[in-house]
Amino acid sequence: MVYKRFYVGVVLRVIGLAITMFFAIWLFYSQNLLLAPGILAFILILQVIEMVYFVNSINQKLARFLDSIRFNDFSSSFTSDSKKGDSFKAVNIAFNEVMDVFKQTRAEKEEQMLFLQVIIQHINSGIISFNSQGQIGVINNSAKHLLQIPQFRDIKDLGKLSTELLKEVIEMKPGQRISKKINASLHLIIQSTSLKMGGESWTLLSMQNINAELQSNELEAWQNLTKVLRHEIMNSITPISSLVESLRTILEEDTYLQREGMLIKRDGFQDMQEGLDTIANRSRGLVSFVNAYRDYTNIPLPKLESIPVHSLFENVLRLMKEDLKSNEVKVEMSIEPADTSIRCDVDQITMILINLIKNASESLVNQADRTIWLSAQNQGDLGTVIQVEDHGPGIVPEALERIFVPFYTTKKTGSGIGLAISRQIMNLHKGSLQVKSTPNEQTIFTLHFR
């Protein structure tokens, strides 16, 4: 509407200029008059000046309006001048309405920013943002409390707390998560995210101190381990103690003193033999248990190297060829893409896969479908997953929560240490070992390499 009125105003002024010019020329050439054309020429000049003023007024208002937007100055107002006509009045009203919208929008954004700042300052996780030059943009109270670094203005100031932490933070990739123990009371979990603001790259760090949780989990782990150790030791010591008392009684009741020594009855001798055999067996069982615990607590750090998954799978299946053949188990292998590789300790990961395939093979003994699916998939930035799947009897939900607990087993034979060691190996690889199982349908163990 405003544009239409301005357009009409310009058109009318151009028509007026044309009419005045026409009459001035007509009077001069046709009527041979000089005074009238001179007056009309003066009027024509005034019309041109008025038209330029009219257009410039609009341009000046528009330039002023655009400058207000450019410099975020929405305090300006555009007053109406009745002498300049309705078009200028409409322009002023339109400009003022737009300025009011900008004012309201900026006020809403400022409220939102204030709200976000309050939230950031009150969340329990530490938040730090820094740009490509290392300058700190945002740091909340939780981060200040965690790090205790005075005048924290540059990310390099993080080196005052730990130079190793600074190096790892600077080398972090978007989406990466690291765990770093700083001292006895500070163990940080830090996650990185990248974003762009105002054409500049920023890194956003979120951090939490998990020291209290680790201590709680450590205490719970020690308590669980103590229960397991107590249970296994008592299972071995109690019958040994009882047998020792029984053997003492046999010696007292079934032996006789003679000149050349002691004489023992045949039945008593046989009972002592059986008792000593039992003690020996229980002692060996206790030694085996202690050795299993030693194996669990002394896993060496992995020696990482890049290996094609196809070669890894072929090596595992070659080692298990006879076992799979004797159990009539078939293994279906798939790798996507075919040239997928992982960085791992080959010997340790081979041990995990052998353990998982062996468990799956044993679970399929009484099944019609004796097929194990061994697969690998490269998921790009999410890492690579290796899965061992079978359609055997599965694992009941109650046992599913405990199969990774050391010395827990659902089999009649076995130490219950294999899956616990396997998960610990994956943790040392900075990966994970997970399981999903539906009884009598499907069981999938997943090794996730980051």
Domain of 175, CATH number, reads 3.30.450.20
- CA atoms of 420 and 363, how far apart (whole Å): 19
Tell me: pLDDT of 2 over 50: no
- CA atoms of 443 and 259, how far apart (whole Å): 70
Q: Are residues 127 and 225 in the same domain?
A: no
Q: How high is the pLDDT of residue 210?
A: 81
Q: For residue 370, what are its two tokens? A: 């004796």
Q: How many domains does the chain have?
A: 4
Q: Are residues 313 and 445 in the same domain?
A: yes
Q: Are residues 371 and 443 in the same domain?
A: yes
* CA dihedral sign of residues 342, 345, 347, 349: negative
Tens of pLDDT, residues 99-135: 777 777 777 777 777 777 777 777 878 888 899 888 8
Tell me: pLDDT of 414 over 60: no
Q: Which domain holds residue 202?
A: 123-209
DSSP string for 386-433: EEEEE-SS---HHHHTTTTSTT--SSSSS-S-HHHHHHHHHHHTT-EE
Q: Are residues 155 and 138 in the same domain?
A: yes
Cα first-last separation, the chain: 62
Q: For residue 380, what are its two tokens? A: 């790009």
Q: How high is the pLDDT of residue 387?
A: 92
Which of 39-53, 78-92, 256-270, 377-391 ranks highest by mean pLDDT? Answer: 377-391
Q: Are residues 223 and 238 in the same domain?
A: yes
Q: End of a domain among 209, 232, 253?
A: 209
Tell me: pLDDT of 86 over 60: no
Based on the number of CB atoms within 10 Å of its own CB, is 373 exposed (0-12), middle (13-18) or buried (19 or more)?
Answer: middle
Q: How high is the pLDDT of residue 94?
A: 67
The more confident residue out of 171 and 105 is: 171
* CA dihedral sign of residues 45, 51, 56, 57: positive
Tens of pLDDT, residues 327-343: 888 889 999 888 899 99
Q: How high is the pLDDT of residue 388?
A: 92
- 245 neighbors 222 (Cβ within 8 angstroms): no
Position 114 in a domain: no
Alpha helices in 31-158 (DSSP H): 35-70, 86-122, 141-147
CB atoms within 10 A of CB 327: 14
Strand partners for 438: 442
Tell me the mean pLDDT in the region 243-269: 72
Strand partners for 13: none
| Percent of the chain topping pLDDT 90 | 5
Tell me the mean pLDDT in the region 11-27: 75
Q: Are residues 317 and 269 in the same domain?
A: no
Position 111 in a domain: no
- 129 neighbors 198 (Cβ within 8 angstroms): no
Q: End of a domain among 161, 193, 209?
A: 209
Asked which of 303-312, 334-343, 372-381, 418-427 is least confident by mean pLDDT, the reply is 418-427
Position 229 in a domain: yes
Q: For position 231, which CATH number holds?
A: 1.10.287
Q: What is the pTM of this model?
A: 0.45
Position 109 in a domain: no
- 353 neighbors 427 (Cβ within 8 angstroms): no
SS (H, E, C) 174-243: CCCEEEEEEECCEEEEEEEEEEEECCEEEEEEEEEECHHHHHHHHHHHHHHHHHHHHHHHHHHHHHHHHH
- 432 neighbors 425 (Cβ within 8 angstroms): no
Q: Are residues 309 and 291 in the same domain?
A: no
Q: Are residues 382 and 313 in the same domain?
A: yes
Q: Are residues 47 and 171 in the same domain?
A: no
Q: Are residues 148 and 62 in the same domain?
A: no
* CA dihedral sign of residues 50, 52, 58, 61: negative
Position 278 in a domain: yes
Position 64 in a domain: yes
* CA dihedral sign of residues 46, 51, 57, 60: negative
- 372 neighbors 398 (Cβ within 8 angstroms): no
Can you give the C-alpha Rg of the chain in angstroms?
Answer: 43
Q: End of a domain among 262, 297, 332?
A: 297
Q: Are residues 7 and 86 in the same domain?
A: yes
Position 51 in a domain: yes
- CA atoms of 190 and 178, how far apart (whole Å): 5
Q: Are residues 203 and 218 in the same domain?
A: no
Q: How high is the pLDDT of residue 308?
A: 92
Position 175 in a domain: yes
Quote the distance between the C-alpha of residue 257 and its chain's center: 78
